């Protein structure tokens, strides 16, 4: 196999489409209104790049560990490691290089960011090596990956993280992850054995989890918006509650029909959801100006 073919297989295994998740690093500095500051933006963008390296290394390790199960999955069987296009040895070597680079870069940027990336990698490796097969724990660990991305942005920008921001990030992540599992269960049906934790989940339990997570997320966001709203003038943060809640409901409709197995695909291809996200971002940003 040529080096170009190998590099292409490594890149595909690193999941470029899922790098969009690392934009969560921008959330805390954006919420604090400092994202575009000259001394903040370069550090935050560097943190996004470092989280891309870290998450890519986990995808590589995951595909090596899951190669056998992926061969029995209707879509994952075409992944480079499962299909034999990428050697497990090469995948692991690439993962080591990427994770080491992310750690070195993170500690060079700040010790706190280095700690966040270390915790992220440790939890995700634990997930790959066994926690993914433990019901509820798998939801918690995947959700923590989203939360740690958001924390990484705050640490990189050196801004304090509101308790409401952390709750919204944590339970918003759980809402999406529970929805992803529900969609997988609907899609796989009798083939749910390709992910062992799904065997111990039921439709009703996952509905309970995503409903609970959605309720906490919306409540925390409302409290956060009320806290940020100015005593005088237009309370744009409060107004932003409306598109935020409608977007949550729209995504809930995608979950309910079993179409949220790949959250990044839903976000990128649901035009109404993108419009609601833009409206929410616009009203929220106006409150920061």
89 alpha-carbon distance from chain centroid: 27
CA 183/CA 194 separation, integer angstroms: 14
> Looking at beta carbons, which pairs linking 77-84 to residues 24 or more positions away fall under 8 Å?
79/12, 79/13, 80/9, 80/10, 80/12, 80/13, 81/13
* Cα-Cα-Cα-Cα dihedral sign, residues 192, 74, 271, 143: positive
- For residue 106, give the H/E element and its range: helix 88-109
Neighbouring C-beta atoms of residue 61, cutoff 10 Å: 25
Say if CB 51 and CB 109 are below 8 A apart.
Answer: no
Q: What are 124's two structure tokens? A: 């995700």
CA 9/CA 200 separation, integer angstroms: 33
Coil, strand or helix: which one is 74? coil
Say if CB 253 and CB 259 are below 8 A apart.
Answer: no
- What pTM does this model have? 0.88
- Return the pLDDT at 190: 47
In this structure, what DSSP letter does residue 149 have?
H
In this structure, what DSSP letter does residue 161 have?
P
CA 203/CA 205 separation, integer angstroms: 6
Q: Where are the beta strands (DSSP E) in the chain?
A: none
Say if CB 89 and CB 61 are below 8 A apart.
Answer: no
CA 274/CA 281 separation, integer angstroms: 10
Say if CB 170 and CB 24 are below 8 A apart.
Answer: no
CA 186/CA 104 separation, integer angstroms: 41
Low-confidence ranges of the chain (pLDDT < 50): 190-191
CA 49/CA 110 separation, integer angstroms: 14
Classify burial at 158, counting beta carbons within 10 Å of its beta carbon; exposed 0-12, middle 13-18, buried 19 or more: middle
């Amino acid at each position: 196999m040529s080096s170009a073919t190998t590099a292409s297989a490594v890149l595909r295994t690193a999941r470029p489409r899922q790098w969009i998740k690392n934009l969560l690093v921008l959330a805390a500095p954006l919420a604090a209104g400092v994202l575009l500051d000259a001394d903040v933006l370069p550090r935050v963008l560097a943190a996004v790049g470092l989280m891309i390296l870290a998450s890519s290394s986990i995808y590589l390790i995951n595909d090596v560990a899951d190669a056998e199960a992926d061969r029995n999955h209707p879509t994952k069987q075409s992944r480079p490691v499962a299909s034999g296009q990428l050697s497990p040895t090469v995948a692991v070597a690439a993962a080591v290089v990427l994770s080491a680079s992310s750690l070195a870069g993170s500690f060079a940027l700040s010790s706190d960011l280095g700690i966040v990336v270390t915790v992220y990698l440790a939890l995700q490796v634990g997930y790959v090596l066994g926690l993914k097969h433990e019901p509820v724990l798998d939801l918690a660990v995947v959700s923590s990956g989203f939360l740690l991305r958001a924390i990484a942005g705050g640490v990189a920008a050196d801004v304090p993280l509101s308790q409401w921001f952390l709750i919204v990030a944590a339970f918003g992540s759980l809402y999406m992850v529970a929805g992803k599992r529900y969609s997988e269960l609907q899609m796989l049906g009798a083939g749910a054995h390709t992910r062992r934790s799904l065997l111990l989940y039921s439709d009703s339990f996952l509905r309970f989890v995503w409903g609970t997570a959605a309720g906490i997320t919306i409540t925390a966001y409302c409290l956060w918006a009320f806290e940020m709203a100015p005593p005088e003038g237009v309370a744009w943060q409060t107004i932003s509650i409306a598109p935020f809640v409608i977007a949550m409901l729209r995504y809930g409709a995608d979950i309910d029909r079993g179409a949220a197995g790949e959250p990044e695909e839903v976000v990128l291809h649901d035009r109404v959801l993108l419009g609601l996200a833009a409206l929410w971002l616009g009203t929220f940003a106006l409150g920061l100006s």
